Chain A
């Protein structure tokens, strides 16, 4: 393998590492916030979610927080990264559609695209065992 190719691969791996840890930090922060300070998030639970799940909004916040901590933890630990990123990206798709065209919605859209990118990058041409080395 040429030096240029090696360097390119190394940059690629560092890029994925930064993306993975950065996104993990974001999801862990929001997840822990919902678990530890759930009442402040109850107002953000959409009515359709309460009607769909038939559980109290506070419980939805806790479940959402648990999901984000679990998936964010998997990203941080580089375990099932592709599937965790995909689940989080799909989760963000729902949030983006629900929030709409506001600064928060646009920010979440950016996070969603970055999370999708992570899911695709960890698939790539490499095997899962190769990815655990990143």
Chain B
């Protein structure tokens, strides 16, 4: 392969990857807005206007898919929907926690890790009540 072709391929790769990441980031705010609306509706339906109030396992179970993914981890409830496409370990690792108690899986994978705990804390929406 000559030098010109090599540089052309390289430039195409740089522009292509940059464009792909840019396009992905354009897509995220729209889905995050939808999530916010959905969460508000759910809270209104349940008569609970404060998102940090206690939540039951059955409430969490209603958010068990990629479009609305809540999970219970160590007694707290987290909305992990926006984190699904961004999780460095892949989407499946988060999808398997949706609507369930993900404490065992989270602790098994990230137990004691300050960084992951810090990231997780950013998604907290409430605490579990029985």
| A→B interface (CB under 8 Å) | 17, 21, 24-25, 28-29, 32-33, 36-37, 40, 43-44, 46-47, 72-73, 76-78, 100, 102-104, 107, 132-134
Supposing A76-B10, A104-B88 touch, asked if A29 and B17 sit within 8 A by C-beta, the answer is yes
* B1 adjacent to A17 (CB under 8 Å): yes
Give the dominant DSSP class at A's interface.
helix
Chain A residue numbers with a CB within 8 Å of B33 are none
- Does the CB pair B21–A29 fall under 8 Å? yes
Is B13 in contact with chain A by the CB < 8 A criterion? yes
Interfacial chain B residues near A72, Cβ < 8 Å:
14
Q: Which chain A residues lie closer than 8 Å to B115 at the CB level?
A: 43-44, 46
Which B residues form the contact surface with A (CB < 8 A)?
1-3, 6-7, 9-11, 13-14, 17-18, 20-22, 25, 28, 86, 88-89, 93, 109-110, 113-116, 118-119, 122
- Quote the shortest CB–CB distance from A112 to chain B (angstroms): 15
Q: Which residues of A contact B113 (CB under 8 A)?
A: 100
Complexed CA–CA distance, A73 and B14 (Å)? 6
From the candidates B10, B22, B86, name the one contacting A36 in the complex (CB within 8 A).
B22
Docked Cα-Cα span, A72 to B6, in Å, equals 14
Chain B residues, Cβ within 8 Å of A132? 3, 6
User: Out of B1, B9, B18, which one reaches A133, CB within 8 Å?
Assistant: B1
CA distance A46 to B7 in the complex (A): 36
A29 CA / B109 CA spacing, docked (Å): 25
Q: Give 10 new A-B contacts, CB below 8 A, not counting A36-B22, A37-B25, A104-B89.
A: A17-B1, A21-B9, A21-B10, A28-B18, A32-B18, A47-B114, A76-B11, A102-B110, A103-B93, A132-B3
9 contacts between A and B (CB under 8 A): A28-B13, A28-B14, A29-B17, A43-B115, A46-B115, A72-B14, A77-B11, A78-B7, A104-B88
Contact of B13 among A25, A33, A37, A103 (CB under 8 A): A25
Cβ of B117 to closest chain A Cβ, rounded Å: 9
Interface centre among B6, B110, B113, B114, by most chain A C-beta atoms within 10 angstroms, is B6
Residues of A within 8 A of B13 (CB): 21, 24-25, 28, 76
> Which A residues lie within 8 Å of B17 (CB)?
25, 28-29, 32
Q: Could you say which residues of chain A place their CB within 8 Å of the CB of B14?
A: 28, 72-73, 76-77
Complex alpha-carbon distance, A77 and B13, angstroms: 9
Of chain A, the residue at the smallest CB distance from B28 is A37
A33 to B28, CA, bound (A): 12
